[in-house]
Amino acid sequence: MTGTERLREKVRAAVERRAGLGRQLASPDVIADPERLRELGREHAGLECIAELGDELLELDDQLQQARELVESAEDGELRELAQSEVHDLEARIEQLEAEARELLAPRDPLDDRAAVIEIRAGTGGDEAGLFAADLFRMYTRYAEGRGWKADVLSTSEGTLGGLKEVVFLVRGRNAYGTLRYESGVHRVQRVPETESQGRIHTSAATVAVLPEAEDVDLEINPEDLKVDVFRSSGPGGQSVNTTDSAVRITHIPTGLVVTCQDEKSQHKNKARALKVLRSRLLDREIAQQEAERAQERRQQVGTGDRSAKIRTYNFPQSRVTDHRIGLTVHRLPEILDGDLDELLRELRLARREERLSA
Using pLDDT thresholds of 50, 70 and 90, give the confidence band for residue 164: very high
Backbone φ and ψ for 116, nearest 5 degrees, come out as -110, 130
pLDDT computed for residue 52 by the predictor: 87
Task: State pLDDT tens for residues 199-234.
Answer: 788 999 999 999 888 876 667 888 899 999 988 776
Which stretch, 93-107, 146-160, 185-199, has highest mean pLDDT?
Answer: 146-160
**Contacts of 18-21 spanning 24+ positions with Cβ under 8 A:** 18/44, 18/47, 18/48, 18/50, 18/51, 21/47
Q: Does residue 358 register a pLDDT over 90?
A: no
pLDDT computed for residue 77 by the predictor: 80
Instruction: Check: CB of residue 177 under 8 Å from CB of residue 111.
Output: yes
Mean residue pLDDT of the chain comes to 84
* CATH code matching the domain that covers 112-213+304-358, chosen among 3.30.70.1660, 3.30.2290.10, 3.40.30.10, 3.50.50.60: 3.30.70.1660
- Report the 10 Å Cβ neighbour count for 340: 16
In this structure, whether the domain defined by 223-292 belongs to CATH 3.20.20.10 is answered with: no
Instruction: Check: CB of residue 177 under 8 Å from CB of residue 252.
Output: no
* CATH code matching the domain that covers 3-105, chosen among 3.10.350, 1.20.58, 3.90.105, 3.90.550: 1.20.58
pTM for the whole structure: 0.66
| Sequence-separated (6 or more) residues with CB below 8 Å from residue 237 | 265
Question: What are the extents of the domains in the chain?
Answer: 3-105, 112-213+304-358, 223-292
Task: State pLDDT tens for residues 268-317.
Answer: 888 888 888 998 888 888 877 766 654 444 344 344 434 457 899 999 99
Task: State pLDDT tens for residues 165-177.
Answer: 999 999 999 889 9
- Smallest CA-to-CA distance from 219 within 260, 169, 269, 276 is with 276
Over residues 5-20, mean pLDDT: 87
